Amino acid sequence: MNFAKLLFFVFLLSALSVTKAAESLMDIAMDLNIEPETGMEFVELINGEGGICSDWIADKGWDEGDNKKKDGGFFFVQVGSGIIAAPPGHKNYINSRQNAFSKAMLTAKGNIISSIAQTVESELMLSVKQGSFTEDESIKKNKLMGSFNKAVDLLNAELDEHLKEKGLINATEAEKESLAKQKLIGILNSEKFRQITQTSAAQSLRGVRRIFVNESIMKGEQGEICVVALYSTKTMQLADAIVSGDFSLAPKGKKGKKLKDQIPNKKTQDGLRQLLTTYGVEMLRDEKGEFNLVSYAQAGPQTKSKTSLKIAYDQSKIKASAQLASFANENASLKERQESSEASNEYGNDVIDYSSVAAYEKDLQSITDPIVLEGLKRFGKWAAKHPATGQIVTGSIMVWSASSAKAAQKSQTTLISDSASDESQTFDQADSFSGSSAGGSSEDDF
């Protein structure tokens, strides 16, 4: 026998041994009634609220909450999202997109103030009963008639509903009496649980800006806008400069590009697409190292007339100006309340009734006191057709800086001086659409 045949013979014996061992293991498993292990079912991950914005923060290496810059400074980021309530194609759809951004920004601010400090109240109640306790006879007599009448009224209402569900429209008095007895004396065990939680937070916010925004509209679904809101030492300094009128408080930064080279160009396809998904206030450094506040807002004309188009332009301008006022100073408050309760009754016929309540409400509010925005300029305006619906969108870009405010103050002083001397319904959606914007997102920009 040569070496090759020997190797083959050894391999064959090994295979037979393994097969026999496997068969023996199978026999043992059958004798012990061992079930083969089943694989774990696939668990689908669902993107949560503002998922794209949260991913953007993670990609930057930041945390939602407090962060430190390389130079030792701090900044704070939070995420918020808002649903576009109007269906695509509705005459108010374009305005609803701007509203969704405002809701997203307000939600992000609510997350900011609640993470700084919030008041939490919680009430828990659990009641478990089995059987009935004896009472003093005099108390029982006094309560008997009142309790009986209340029980009868309650039972009548419950019985009517029960009979409707069972189809016993023409139920006999005997059937009603039987059900009543079951309700009155048939409860063996009962359990009631209730939890009510309330939270509240309020804070004066200065210098909260939008650093990233994403708009996503999938065909056949409601659109959503998410934002990343940020504030830092520099953003608060800029807000203080606006409120106080002391423009020396405005911070300075490294020299950057001219504003016209940083703001999306409406004359290009890429620029127009970016403008369609750009909302809110961002900070941009210009070629002098001065920080400029740039506010973007949109509005949709109600008709195709030139008058309606002009009104939409004016509306977008007002919205952009309001965003700058909110950046300077606003008072935000958040109140949340939730209830989770359940009750179960076990009857003598092995029937268990179960009921539950789940309730939630949130109130977010932002109030901006009147503020004078000196030197506020309209950098530009634009109009385009939305790629998903074909509707006209108008937008305004408003800019404020400390130097423009100083110039406005000087002009105002000159004017006052001269004046004193003179003494004188089917909704169609063409396609899906999504886009993001993140101007001024390097650490030098905040």
Give tens-digit pLDDT for 34-73.
Answer: 454 555 567 776 666 668 999 999 999 999 989 998 888 8
What are 193's two structure tokens? Answer: 């649980």
Helices (H) and strands (E) in the chain, counts: 10, 13
Res. 16 pLDDT band, cuts 50 70 90: very low
- The tokens of 227 are what? 């934002």
Has this prediction a pTM greater than 0.85? no
219 pLDDT tier (thresholds 50, 70, 90): confident
Using 50, 70 and 90 to split pLDDT, how confident is the model at 269? very high
Q: Quick one: pLDDT at residue 320?
A: 96
Higher pLDDT, 109 or 422: 109
Give the model's pLDDT for residue 340. Answer: 94
For residue 122, pLDDT over 80 is answered with yes
Cβ atoms of residues 83 and 107 within 8 Å = no
**Least confident piece of the model among 68-72, 232-236, 423-427:** 423-427
Q: What is the pLDDT of residue 446?
A: 72
Q: Cα(316)–Cα(311) distance, rounded to whole angstroms?
A: 9
Q: Which of 250, 287, 270, 200 is nearest to 400 (CA)?
A: 250
Question: What pLDDT, on the 0 to 100 scale, is given for residue 29?
Answer: 39
Q: What is the pLDDT of residue 173?
A: 67
Indicate whether 146 pLDDT > 90.
no
Residue 189 has pLDDT above 80, yes or no: yes
The pLDDT mean for the chain works out to 81
Which residue did the predictor score with more confidence, 218 or 312? 312
pLDDT on residue 105: 94
Q: What pLDDT does residue 267 have?
A: 93
The pLDDT of residue 115 is: 84
Lowest mean pLDDT among 170-174, 232-236, 404-408: 170-174
Asked if the model's pLDDT at residue 305 lies above 80, the reply is yes
Q: What is the mean pLDDT of residues 408-415?
A: 76
pLDDT confidence band for 32 (50 / 70 / 90): very low
User: In this predicted structure, what is the pLDDT of residue 217?
Assistant: 85
Q: What is the pLDDT of residue 41?
A: 66
Going by pLDDT thresholds of 50, 70 and 90, the confidence category of residue 18 is: very low
Q: Which pLDDT band holds residue 31 (cuts at 50, 70, 90)?
A: very low
Length of the chain: 446
What percentage of residues in the chain have a pLDDT greater than 90? 49
Of 282, 207, 230, 297, nearest to 64 by C-alpha is 230
Q: What is the pLDDT of residues 65-119, one digit of tens each?
A: 899 988 888 899 999 999 999 998 899 999 999 999 999 999 999 999 988 888 8
Query: What are phi and psi for residue 409, nearest 5 degrees?
Result: -60, -45
Cβ within 8 Å of residue 336, ≥6 positions away: 197, 198, 199, 200, 360, 361, 362, 363
Instruction: Give the pLDDT confidence score for residue 78 in this predicted structure.
Output: 94
Residue 210 has pLDDT above 90, yes or no: yes
Average pLDDT over residues 1-24: 47
Of the candidates 341, 367, 365, 343, the residue with the CA atom closest to the CA atom of residue 354: 343
User: Tell me, what's the pLDDT at 287?
Assistant: 95
Token pair of 224, please?
């959503």
CA distance 321 to 377: 9
**pLDDT tens for each residue of 343-401:** 998 887 777 889 999 999 999 999 998 888 999 999 999 999 998 899 999 999 999 99
pLDDT value for 430 = 53
- Where does the pLDDT of residue 15 fall: very low under 50, low under 70, confident under 90, or very high at 90 and above? very low
Which one, of 99, 96, 93, 87, lies nearest residue 220 by Cα? 87
Comparison of pLDDT for 194 and 438, the residue scoring more: 194
Percent of the chain at pLDDT exceeding 70: 71
Indicate the residue type of 269: Q
What is the pLDDT confidence band of residue 415, given thresholds at 50, 70 and 90? Answer: low
